[in-house]
């Protein structure tokens, strides 16, 4: 059995498991999610038993359902042992102020998330995206207040342009507000655009990095084949996963499959191991949908890759960042 490893999140003193459990699948707003509360609770229990102490959810995941399931899973557990991350920004109501990063919406949603999670504090509170309609100073002041009042321990952010993130960090320093200590970007072997955008900022500022979709929504598990319509898996229902079926990405997957075969491990394990070998990465956010996925993904911690294997995996693709590529 694989032994869980832990690391500090960026420059903070916070210990997190080297794999974070993504909780987006715990809900029913999309057909590709688990759509099964009991099975979700079992998966959460198994992950915690395996030593994962870091859980990532969001208010918008099935409009609160994911947070409620996480709340049930952690009920009665020692809260001190858990690092719970959630997010704010996306639409939670069809009315003015039902979304975004205004002081009002952030403070309302922090309380709502605390209620759904059944806890007194959030360890890592993240802005899910940049809000073009709210000054960053207002957002940072609201987040700073949440930290000052003990409702939040650390603050983080997710996919945005590097200039926006750098501006937010500098505004925090100027105003002496709490700083973002963590960034959650899309990052995996076929989506490497953040190497040309946010990752250099994180490296130079000591910000922790927790990649989302580390298996490209399942593409990197090798469950799909070139030239064939998907018949099972998320790609049958999710355009973002199917959009990864490009010549360049199939070439990356060929290399992943070859190396997996040479090492006697699976393509998913090689793909996660590649991320775990990146010094800038603290804890990829895995999104298992079954117990088998969870076990397979956690065992990637045991896979060592040489420098030449890392080069082979990266050689088919040269990363480029644009808003369009990043989906912003
Ligand atoms: N900040 C953001 O904007 C953002 C965006 C997306 C996600 N996230 C976070 O990142 C987490 C992970 O994202 P993700 O779910 O896209 O991660 P992912 O690992 O790239 O994709 C997960 C999907 O891949 C398949 N899969 C996973 N492990 C597998 C295995 N070992 N063998 C075969 N198939 C496997 C499953 O789909 P099927 O079995 O259905 O094919 C699963 O639902 C989310 O839960 C969420 O917390 C954040």
DSSP string, 215-248: TGGGGGGT-S-TT----SSGGGT-HHHHTT--HH
Regarding the beta carbon of 167 and ligand 1, being less than 6 Å apart is answered no
pLDDT tens over the chain, length 328 residues: 899 999 999 999 999 999 999 999 999 999 999 999 999 999 999 999 999 999 999 999 999 999 999 999 999 999 999 999 999 999 999 999 999 999 999 999 999 999 999 999 999 999 999 999 999 999 999 999 999 999 999 999 999 999 999 999 999 999 999 999 999 999 999 999 999 999 999 999 999 999 999 999 999 999 999 999 999 999 999 989 989 999 999 999 999 999 999 999 999 999 999 999 999 999 999 999 999 999 999 999 999 999 999 999 999 999 999 999 999 9
- From 6, 61, 145, 187, active-site residue: 61
Phi, psi of 85 (to 5 degrees): -115, 135
Active site residue 61: yes
Task: Please say whether the beta carbons of 318 and 288 come within 8 A.
Answer: no
Cβ 218 under 6 angstroms from ligand 1: yes
Chain position carrying tokens 């990465």:
281
Query: What single string gives the DSSP state of each residue in 16-54?
Result: EESSEEE-TTSSSSSTTS---HHHHHHHHHHHHHTT--E
**Is the CB of 288 inside a 6 Å radius of any atom of ligand 1?**
yes
Enter the DSSP assignment of 96.
Answer: T
212: nearest Cα among 10, 9, 24, 8: 24
- Domains of the chain plus CATH, in order, are 6-215+278-303 (3.20.20.100)
Eight-state DSSP code of residue 295: H
């Amino acid at each position: 059995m694989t032994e869980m490893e832990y690391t500090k999140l960026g420059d903070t003193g916070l210990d997190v498991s080297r794999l974070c459990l993504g909780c987006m699948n715990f809900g029913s707003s999309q057909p590709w999610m688990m759509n099964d509360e009991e099975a979700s609770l079992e998966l959460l229990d198994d992950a915690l038993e395996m030593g994962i102490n870091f859980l990532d959810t969001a208010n918008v995941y099935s409009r609160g359902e994911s947070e409620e399931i996480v709340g049930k899973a952690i009920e009665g557990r020692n809260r001190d042992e858990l690092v719970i991350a959630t997010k704010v920004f996306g639409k939670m109501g069809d009315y003015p102020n039902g979304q975004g990063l205004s002081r009002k919406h952030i403070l309302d949603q922090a309380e709502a998330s605390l209620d759904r999670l059944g806890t007194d504090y959030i360890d890592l509170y993240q802005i899910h995206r940049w809000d073009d309609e709210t000054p960053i100073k207002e957002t940072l002041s609201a987040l700073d207040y949440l930290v000052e009042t003990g409702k939040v321990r650390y603050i983080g952010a997710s996919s945005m342009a590097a200039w926006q993130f750098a501006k937010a960090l500098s505004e925090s320093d100027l105003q002496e507000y709490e700083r973002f200590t963590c960034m959650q970007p899309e990052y995996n072997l076929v989506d490497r655009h953040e190497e040309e955008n946010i990752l250099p900022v994180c490296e130079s500022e000591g910000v922790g990095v927790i990649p989302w979709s580390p298996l490209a929504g399942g593409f990197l598990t090798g469950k799909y084949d070139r030239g064939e319509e998907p018949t099972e898996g998320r790609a049958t229902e999710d355009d973002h996963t199917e959009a990864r079926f490009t010549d360049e990405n199939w070439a990356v997957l060929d290399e992943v499959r070859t190396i997996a075969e040479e090492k006697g491990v699976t393509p998913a394990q090689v793909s996660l191991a590649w991320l775990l070998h990146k010094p800038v990465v603290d804890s990829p956010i895995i999104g298992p949908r079954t117990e088998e996925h969870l076990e397979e993904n956690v065992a990637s911690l045991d896979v060592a890759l040489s420098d030449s294997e890392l080069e082979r995996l990266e050689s088919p693709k040269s990363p480029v960042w644009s808003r369009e590529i990043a989906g912003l």
